[in-house]
Amino acid sequence: MVSLTLSVVVPCYNENEGIHELHSRITSVCHNTVGEAYELVLVNDGSSDATWKIMRDLSKIDKHIVAVNLSRNHGHQLALSAGLHMCRGERIFILDADLQDPPELLPEMMERMDDGCDVVFGQRIKRDGETAFKKATAFAFYRLLSRMVDIDIPRDTGDFRLMSRRAVEILNSMPEHHRFIRGMVSWIGMRQEALPYNRAARFAGETKYPLSKMIRFALDAITGFSIRPLRIASILGCCFGISTLLLLAYVLVNYIFGKTVEGWTSLAVIVLALGSAQLFVLGVMGEYLGRLYMESKGRPLFIIQEVVCLNELVEKDSSSK
């Protein structure tokens, strides 16, 4: 394995409009920081546009680029995991292809790691170019997450960070499919520091995280690091059970004293409330059970179709982790 000072890992999905600017800015900051001792690992996550073609073309003119093509769209977290398994650097710099996280913060992150940090993560102070709804939901998500999970996950952080090789090796040894990488990194521990910064608007294109993906991501985050939803479901079931017993006692007392309870509306409301509580409890249990089922299959996290590096094509029809 070739020893490099730095690896830059960037998962890409339909980023053909901004990938040249991404390459230019990363190349500039890496040359100024570590000279020639770096690699740029670009992971194509099953893009439907010209992203992979541009990656291949760039790899023919830049010896630092390692272009990785996944067999299909695996999702951002697994694409990032593929890049982390492929990279070779002693330090690993992670950022997204949309350039909302400025690569120009790399030198300051490197200085903090020189002081003994294993992880230096970016912590957003301001989020430009995002809707009020996105900002509000992100604010609520991180606050809810901090109350739900059993570890300390820093608020207002993404995957934008610099990691030491030993931290990445530990992360790579964690096999779960439903990955919330920023939480997994927090779980590792060791010395981690925040670097506050202002997040810019996307350089080009549209967000790859619509509401549906955000919800799934939130579920992965909560269920991956806490069993509190199961406890909440149990508490809710107990509360409804006690309420049912109290209601039964009320009905019996009224029956004994000849005061029958009239009206089907109240009865229907009670039945619907109990039914909803039962379905909620089953749904929470189903989320955990489904994740156990998927993990038990033992399937690889991702499939690498091919890798282009140093003007050479390496076919990998079954390479996976």
Angle between helices 165-172 and 76-86 (to 10 degrees): 120
Per-residue confidence (pLDDT) for residue 7, from 0 to 100: 93
* Cα–Cα distance, 107 to 195 (Å, whole number): 12
Per-residue confidence (pLDDT) for residue 210, from 0 to 100: 58
In whole angstroms, how large is the CA radius of gyration of the chain?
Answer: 25
- Backbone φ and ψ of 26, nearest 5°: -65, -40
Per-residue confidence (pLDDT) for residue 186, from 0 to 100: 85
Q: Beta-carbon neighbour count of residue 181 at 10 Å? A: 19
The DSSP code for 104 is G
Q: How many residues does the chain have?
A: 321
Per-residue confidence (pLDDT) for residue 146, from 0 to 100: 66
Per-residue confidence (pLDDT) for residue 221, from 0 to 100: 66
Query: In the chain, which residues have pLDDT < 50?
Result: 1, 311, 313-319
Per-residue confidence (pLDDT) for residue 44, from 0 to 100: 93
Per-residue confidence (pLDDT) for residue 315, from 0 to 100: 42
* SS3 state at 48: coil
Q: What is the dihedral of CA 287, 302, 182, 176, to 10 degrees?
A: 50
Q: Is 265 exposed, middle or buried (0-12, 13-18, 19+ CB in 10 A)?
A: exposed
- Backbone φ and ψ of 116, nearest 5°: 115, 5
* Cα–Cα distance, 40 to 92 (Å, whole number): 10
Per-residue confidence (pLDDT) for residue 307, from 0 to 100: 86
Per-residue confidence (pLDDT) for residue 311, from 0 to 100: 45
Predicted TM-score (pTM) of the model is 0.70
* Residue showing tokens 């990363």: 26
The DSSP code for 155 is T
* Residue showing tokens 């492929």: 86
- Backbone φ and ψ of 151, nearest 5°: -125, 170
Taking only the tens place, the pLDDT of each residue in 243-270 is 766 766 766 676 676 665 565 556 656 6
| H-assigned helices in the chain | 19-34, 51-61, 76-86, 106-114, 132-148, 165-172, 181-188, 211-225, 228-256, 264-296
Domain spans of the chain, in order of start? 4-226+300-320, 228-296
In the CATH hierarchy, which fold is given to the domain comprising 4-226+300-320?
A: Spore Coat Polysaccharide Biosynthesis Protein SpsA; Chain A (3.90.550)
